[in-house]
Amino acid sequence: MESRTTGEVHPRERTHFWSEHIGSYEPRMGYRYARTDNFRGETVRQYTGAYQLVRVRSDEIEYSRTARQVREDPDEGYRLLLPLTGEIVVRQSDRETRLTPGTGTLVSFGAPFECLQDASAQAFVLTIPARELDGPLNRRSPLATSLDLSSGLGRVVSSMVSDLHAERDDLTDLQFDAVADRVVELLCLFAASDDRPDAPGHLTDVETMVRRFVREHAADPALTGTSMARTLGWSLRQVQLALQRVGTTPRDLIREERLRLVRERLRCGDCEHLTITDLAYASGFSSASALSTAFRQRFGVSPREMRHAGRRA
Q: What confidence tier does 204 reach under pLDDT thresholds 50, 70, 90?
A: confident
Q: What confidence tier does 313 reach under pLDDT thresholds 50, 70, 90?
A: low
Query: Per-residue pLDDT averaged across 44-71, rounded?
Result: 96
Question: Domain spans of the chain?
Answer: 2-186, 194-313
Examine the pLDDT at 196 and tell me if it is beyond 80: no
- The larger pLDDT score, comparing residue 42 to residue 232, is at 42
pLDDT digits (tens, 9 = 90+) for 124-144: 999 999 888 776 555 544 454
The per-residue pLDDT for 192 is: 55
Query: Per-residue pLDDT averaged across 286-306, rounded?
Result: 93
Instruction: Indicate the pairing of strand 52-58 with strand 103-108.
Output: unpaired
pLDDT digits (tens, 9 = 90+) for 8-32: 999 999 999 999 999 999 999 999 9
pLDDT digits (tens, 9 = 90+) for 239-274: 888 888 888 999 999 999 999 999 999 888 788 889
CA separation for the pair 207, 198 (Å, rounded): 12
Top-level CATH class of 2-186? Answer: mainly beta
Examine the pLDDT at 281 and tell me if it is beyond 80: yes
pLDDT digits (tens, 9 = 90+) for 79-116: 999 999 999 999 988 788 889 999 999 999 999 999 99
Q: What confidence tier does 202 reach under pLDDT thresholds 50, 70, 90?
A: low
Examine the pLDDT at 276 and tell me if it is beyond 90: yes
Q: Average model confidence (pLDDT) for the chain?
A: 88
Q: Are 85 and 120 in contact (CB under 8 A)?
A: yes
The topology under which CATH files domain 194-313 is Arc Repressor Mutant, subunit A (1.10.10)
Examine the pLDDT at 190 and tell me if it is beyond 60: yes
Q: Which residues of 96-117 are buried (b: 16+ CB within 10 A; e: fewer)?
A: ebebebbbbbbbbbbebbbbbb
Kindly report the pTM of this predicted structure: 0.63
The per-residue pLDDT for 198 is: 46
Beta bridge partners of 31: 63
CA separation for the pair 234, 205 (Å, rounded): 12
Q: What confidence tier does 191 reach under pLDDT thresholds 50, 70, 90?
A: low
Beta bridge partners of 47: 52
- The larger pLDDT score, comparing residue 282 to residue 150, is at 282
CA distances (Å), origin 143, targets 61, 218, 233: 21, 36, 20
Examine the pLDDT at 200 and tell me if it is beyond 60: no
Q: What confidence tier does 145 reach under pLDDT thresholds 50, 70, 90?
A: low
Beta bridge partners of 45: 2, 54
Burial zone of 299 (CB within 10 Å; 0-12 exposed, 13-18 middle, 19+ buried): middle
What single-letter amino acid sits at 195? Answer: D
Q: Which residues touch 108 (CB under 8 Å, ≥6 apart)?
A: 76, 77, 78, 92, 141, 143
- The larger pLDDT score, comparing residue 206 to residue 105, is at 105
CA separation for the pair 1, 168 (Å, rounded): 8
The per-residue pLDDT for 237 is: 82
CA separation for the pair 92, 80 (Å, rounded): 14
